[in-house]
Amino acid sequence: MKKETGSARGRERDKSPLPDAIIVVAIATAAFFLGSFLNLYQGFHNLVHAYEGWHIDALVIAFAAITIVLAILFFYRWRQLKREIKGHMRAERALRESEDRFSKIFNDSPVSITMNTLKDGTFLYVNDSFTRMAGYTREEVVGHRSADVGIWANNEDRDRMLKILKEQGRVYTQEFNFRVKSGEIRTWLYSAETINIGGEPCLIVLSIDVTERKKRERLQNDEISVLTLLGQGAELSEVLDALLRLGEYNDPSIKGSVMLFDPAKQCLFYASGPSLPDEYNEPLKAGLPIGPNVGSCGTAAYLKERVVIPDIHNSPLFEPFKDVLELTRKHGLLACWSQPIISSTGELLGTIANYSGRVGEPTADNLRVLEWSARIAAIAIERKRAEEAVRESEEKFSKAFRASPEAIGITRLRDNQFIEVNDTFIRSTGYTREEAINNSAVEFGLWANEENRARILGIMKEQGKVSNEEVQFRTKSGGIQTVLFSIETINIGNEPCAISMAADITERKQAEEKLKLAVQKLEVSSARLIAANKEMEAFSYSVSHDLRAPLRSIDGFSLALLEDYADRLDDTGQDYLRRLRGASQKMGELIDGLLKLSRLTRGEMQPKKVDLTALAGEIAERLKENDPERQAEFVINRGLTAYGDPDLLRVLLENLLGNAWKFTGMTPQARIEFGTKRNGKVKAYFIKDNGAGFDMTYAGKLFRAFQRLHDEAKFPGTGIGLATVQRIINRHGGTIRAEGETGKGATFYFTLS
């Protein structure tokens, strides 16, 4: 504040008239002294005498007055000149200050400013913003014509600018394309005014780089176009192509690709890549497996996260794929970044990738567009799948409707008129489609009686549907048809409708009547069977008691004869007695087998989970203990279990493992294996040996009682064992079969339901 006050006071002193008054007084004083001097000077007196009549004092005063007037006139002229000089000095100072301010604004402006001659476009001056925007230094453009610098991207834009300037005298906010020093084409918002500099017409040009803004606007428009395609239900391929073009427009150095994932094959398959060469796309149609080191897309799909490869030809992910590297090198594909396409439920749908013609990382804008494209692609793919599911569902419904063995009709709820019927309806009722459509069941007399119709309407009113109600319909020929009738409500084109299904059970009802008669007959047969079983039990008791006693007597007396009267019998007599004893013992074994078979069919089963591995292990150990000199290997798989009667399953394994043990008796390195084998969903148990085997020609006799395929002298037995096994398998609802080859062993496969 003090400085400002001092300055103001100084300016007031400069304006004070005091110095000028002092000058005037000084001139007047000088004139006075000059007059006095002349009065003293003799020559002056002589001059005065030449003018007769003039008094000397008056003359001096007159002279002094003239001098004073001239001095005052001189003074005012001097003062005027002084003011003019000061005005010029102030104007020059103001001009210099204005030029300094303009130069500072010109250079520091964020807007590009240039001055060019109008004649040939020579650059006279450029500011810092221009050098930043164009990439040129001042030395590279000032003094050079714009055509020589090559700043205009094309002559059409330059000619359009000159035309506007000529017609309107100025150019205001027009968009033109310019080529910057790097060669990139940029869009500038351009304004120009004509000015005269040193008498020469020039242009002062203001420009703003709107390339990025234009990209954003175009990107937004492209995104809207893609979303419009999606909303209009365009084909998936059309949407994917548009997504890829969107990324390519945003960055012309890239080419896009979309691949879809096949979960069954665990591979990606080509879906879209319009800008990539066919030579590169063709192998992708055969499928690309996903994995941790399978290029950019295969790895991104496997990890379900974005993969960026700044340099394809120095990437370990591409190193194993020499053919692909050759193609990328051939077509200038130097970098790649892939984004997985993930569904709303987290499921992998595919990948979207950008291949760049430049080595390096993607820009933030590249990644934003890629992520957005992946999200939109996911929506498009899910919509496509949903459409396919709906179409498949409609096709299935249509096929089921047409091919259903049940009569189906669709009616409107508002008037109960049929709008569609299937072929079964036509065949079962006898009416044609034309007779049924646009008519109700009441109108062509489909209901056999009113009571049925009223009952169905009541159920429909209470429950909103009908399920398997038995009713009668009258066919066109007048016949009565019994059906199971169901109704469900559906909407077709916002029209409430009902779909009715009628399963013709007329024949079934007749069959039921026949079945009742058959059941009655069966009950009679069952009673007879019970009586027969009682007789069988009595016979078994008789066999076990009445037959065994004589056999024991025969065996006992034969043994007594051999022991007590051996010295009285010759060799032939002793041989007869031994044969008699063997036959009686054999007969006893056969009786035991028959009794065992009969008991298998009578006892009530007690099913539960059985550890077959443990059970087989016990049986194997017992067989080894009974014949310790045998060298046989048992291989029993772990974790073998079954659901069945433990006692019966023990008998089953004892017979099968015992058979295997018996028929490997003459094999030096005997091996018996117990395990399982799957055939589709069916699990079969097997017991395999490398023993005597059998001829498959006689495989049908294996499971018959008392049937034998081997010499009894080598392999003794009753022929009851495998018949017993089959009876146990049958009681468990399973099957059994055998495979073998003479001298190479046998395998028995069995199932248990």
Residue 114, exposed/middle/buried by CB under 10 A (0-12, 13-18, 19+)?
Answer: buried
Range scoring the smallest mean pLDDT among 56-65, 79-88, 578-587, 636-645: 56-65
Contacts of 200 (CB under 8 A, 6+ apart): 117, 118, 119
pLDDT in tens, 97-139: 555 555 666 677 788 899 999 989 999 989 988 999 999 999 9
362 confidence band (pLDDT: 50, 70, 90): very high
**Which has more confidence, 27 or 126?**
126
- 125: β partners: 115
718 confidence band (pLDDT: 50, 70, 90): low
Q: From CA 146, how far away is CA 152, in angstroms rounded? A: 7
pLDDT value, residue 334: 93
pLDDT value, residue 14: 46
**CB 351, CB 340: distance < 8 Å:** yes
521 confidence band (pLDDT: 50, 70, 90): confident
For residue 4, pLDDT beyond 50: no
- 682: β partners: 679
For residue 436, pLDDT beyond 70: yes
pLDDT in tens, 221-232: 777 777 777 777
For residue 16, pLDDT beyond 50: no
Q: Highest mean pLDDT: which of 19-33, 631-645, 654-668?
A: 631-645
pLDDT value, residue 310: 94
Q: From CA 587, how far away is CA 553, in angstroms rounded? A: 13
Range scoring the smallest mean pLDDT among 89-93, 496-500, 572-576, 704-708: 704-708
Q: From CA 239, how far away is CA 234, in angstroms rounded? A: 7
pLDDT value, residue 144: 93
pLDDT value, residue 104: 63
Range scoring the smallest mean pLDDT among 424-438, 537-551, 608-622: 537-551
Stated pTM of the model: 0.44
512 confidence band (pLDDT: 50, 70, 90): confident
Identify the residue whose tokens are 């009902």: 498
- C-alpha gyration radius of the chain: 60
Over residues 689-701, the mean pLDDT reads 80
pLDDT value, residue 520: 84
| Mean of per-residue pLDDT scores for the chain | 81
pLDDT value, residue 221: 73
Range scoring the smallest mean pLDDT among 108-112, 185-189, 445-449, 477-481: 108-112
Annotated domain spans of the chain: 18-92, 109-209, 215-390, 404-504, 510-589, 605-750
Over residues 349-374, the mean pLDDT reads 90
For residue 691, pLDDT beyond 70: yes
**Which has more confidence, 169 or 11?**
169
Over residues 691-706, the mean pLDDT reads 74
For residue 18, pLDDT beyond 70: no
Specify the CATH number for 215-390; select among 1.10.10.1100, 3.40.190.10, 3.30.420.40, 3.30.450.40.
3.30.450.40
pLDDT value, residue 15: 46
Phi, psi of 113 (to 5 degrees): -130, 130
**Which has more confidence, 515 or 362?**
362
Helices (H), 337-414: 364-403
Domains 215-390 and 605-750 share a fold: no
Q: From CA 432, how far away is CA 430, in angstroms rounded? A: 7
Q: What angle do CA 172, 175, 177 make, to 5 degrees?
A: 135
240 confidence band (pLDDT: 50, 70, 90): confident
Report the run of H or E that residue 410 belongs to, with start and end: strand 407-412
Q: Please, what's the b/e burial string for 611-649 (b: 16 or more CB within 10 A of its CB; e: otherwise)? A: ebeebbeebbeebeeeeeeeebebebeeebebebbbebb
Over residues 698-723, the mean pLDDT reads 64
Q: From CA 63, how far away is CA 431, in angstroms rounded? A: 152
Over residues 192-218, the mean pLDDT reads 86
Over residues 587-610, the mean pLDDT reads 69
Identify the residue whose tokens are 């059906």: 483
Specify the CATH number for 404-504; select among 1.10.10.10, 3.30.450.20, 1.20.120.790, 1.10.760.10.
3.30.450.20
For residue 243, pLDDT beyond 80: yes
- Which CATH number describes the domain made up of 605-750? 3.30.565.10
pLDDT in tens, 47-89: 445 444 445 455 555 555 666 666 666 666 666 776 777 766 7
Over residues 513-525, the mean pLDDT reads 82
Q: From CA 689, how far away is CA 681, in angstroms rounded? A: 25
pLDDT value, residue 402: 83
**Which has more confidence, 727 or 553?**
727
- Per cent of the chain over pLDDT 70 is 79
**Which class is domain 109-209?**
alpha beta
pLDDT value, residue 17: 45
Which of 647, 526, 637 is CA-nearest to residue 596? 647
Range scoring the smallest mean pLDDT among 61-65, 416-420, 514-518: 61-65
What are 258's two structure tokens? 């979309």
Q: From CA 29, how far away is CA 589, in angstroms rounded? A: 180
For residue 170, pLDDT beyond 50: yes
What are 194's two structure tokens? 């004509």
Phi, psi of 703 (to 5 degrees): -100, 15
